[in-house]
Amino acid sequence: MDTYLDHNATTPVRPEAADAVARALTQHGNASSVHRFGRLVRHTLDEARESVASLVGASPANIVFTSGGTEANNQALRGFDGPVLVSAVEHDSVLGVRADARIVDVDADGVLSLEHLHEMLARCEEPALVSVMRANNETGVMQPIGDVVRLAHEHGALVHCDAVQAAGKIDVSFAQLGVDMMSLSAHKLGGPQGVGALIVRDGFDPEPLLRGGGQERRRRAGTENVAGIAGFGAAARIAQDNLDLFAGLNGLRDDMETLLRAAIPDIVIHGADGERLPNTSCIGLPGMTAEIQVMQLDLAGVAVSSGSACSSGKVAPSHVLRAMGHDDAAAQSAIRVSLGWSSVAQDVDHFVDAWTAMAQRRSPNVDARRSVA
């Protein structure tokens, strides 16, 4: 039995999205052409744009299609000329964009410190951009975006929200949150890889990364990835229709954590005291590195990850857990288990059995003192 519990890295393509990709591949016009072939492709793009906009409560005119969440984050931060403030637990595609970015602290649950943000905004001599994710990719912990927006706007600052992990899992409203920019990625919600979007509020346009064409209202040059965008639109429609079902994963996740705590009392569930996505659990096992856990679970037919998939290959402590106050040992012993639209109770049972058997084989000399959660 193979069990896939790494949906925050990428989730399986929904059948409806795969069908939309296949149909789009049969269309051979260029959306910038005025003849009927081009108009048919333009219609496909328009339908997808409306679906993505509907998923996050935005206007279709606000959508800028990109190659993914990383490009969207880069455009948001690199397209702004001024101070940039980012939380310490942001994805690498935010933390690595601006060398001059100023870091805002988080608390022990990984929630941004509004007090520290206020202090940093007060020290900015010109309007700033604040970039804060809606939900963390490693722990699932959600940020108080409404409070961030209120505070930032009081200081004349703009707000960018990386909603890559949240969209399609919880209700995310661009309009209600009041952010100025938002990043999305198709493959996190059942669409194909290699396509995403930056949502930009009316009256504001960050400098484009790609120039030389009029596509996307001159906000992102280059012929659009029509097939990918069509799949994105289909996935967005299905995800929006199934938000209530996704919320039900909270029960599976909580049952899993209860079983793990009962079997191995010294484990740590990072961020468990904060508000989290319903599908995500970051589990620390003292005395066993995440890399070893991932490999042993893979041999048992269970796929999980050690933090962000975009950081795979790095033998380094999680910057997210370090920012939450954990030492290197704790930050190197945590795995991420993330459920998705195709997850069922049998997947959780398989993981619990495999992980418990592995954990019980730890060295009897392991220091079982509980880390700070």
Amino acid at 144: P
Which of residues 220, 241, 262 is at a domain's end?
241
**206 and 323 share one domain:** no
- Give the CATH number, domain containing residue 266: 3.90.1150.10
- For 284, phi and psi rounded to 5 degrees? -100, 130
- For 103, phi and psi rounded to 5 degrees? -95, 130
Residues with catalytic roles:
310
Instruction: Tell me what pLDDT residue 196 has.
Output: 98
Do 222 and 210 form a contact (C-beta atoms < 8 A)? Answer: yes
**350 and 316 share one domain:** yes
Instruction: Tell me what pLDDT residue 367 has.
Output: 46
Amino acid at 63: I
Q: What is the dihedral of CA 347, 349, 350, 353, to 10 degrees?
A: 160
Task: Kindly report, residue by residue over 246-282, the tens digit of the pLDDT.
Answer: 999 999 999 999 999 999 999 999 999 999 999 999 9
**306 and 235 share one domain:** no
Provide the CB-side half-sphere exposure for 298 (13 A, CA).
11
CA distance 92 to 310: 8
**202 and 250 share one domain:** no
**161 and 228 share one domain:** yes
- Token look-up 């949150």 returns 177
Do 170 and 140 form a contact (C-beta atoms < 8 A)? Answer: no
CA distance 363 to 321: 24
pTM: 0.93
**254 and 184 share one domain:** no
- Token look-up 């049969």 returns 26
CA distance 178 to 76: 16
User: Residue 370 falls within a domain, yes or no?
Assistant: no
User: Residue 52 falls within a domain, yes or no?
Assistant: yes
User: Residue 373 falls within a domain, yes or no?
Assistant: no
Among 54, 179, 160, residue whose Cα is nearest residue 98: 160
Which of residues 222, 241, 260 is at a domain's end?
241
Q: Per-residue pLDDT for the chain (373 aa), expressed as one digit of tens each?
A: 799 999 999 999 999 999 999 999 999 999 999 999 999 999 999 999 999 999 999 999 999 999 999 999 999 999 999 999 999 999 999 999 999 999 999 999 999 999 999 999 999 999 999 999 999 999 999 999 999 999 999 999 999 999 999 999 999 999 999 999 999 999 999 999 999 999 999 999 899 999 999 999 999 999 999 999 999 999 999 999 999 999 999 999 999 999 999 999 999 999 999 999 999 999 999 999 999 999 999 999 999 998 655 555 555 789 999 999 999 999 999 999 999 999 999 999 999 999 999 999 876 544 443 333 3
| Separation in Å, CA 97 to CA 21, 105, 137, 261, 317 | 31, 18, 17, 38, 20
**39 and 123 share one domain:** yes
Task: Kindly report, residue by residue over 177-212, the tens digit of the pLDDT.
Answer: 999 999 999 999 999 999 999 999 999 989 999 999
Do 200 and 64 form a contact (C-beta atoms < 8 A)? Answer: yes
What are the tokens at 33? Answer: 């052409």
Could you tell me the residue range of the domain that residue 177 belongs to? Answer: 15-241
Among 291, 338, 337, 335, residue whose Cα is nearest residue 315: 291
What are the tokens at 150? Answer: 């209120």
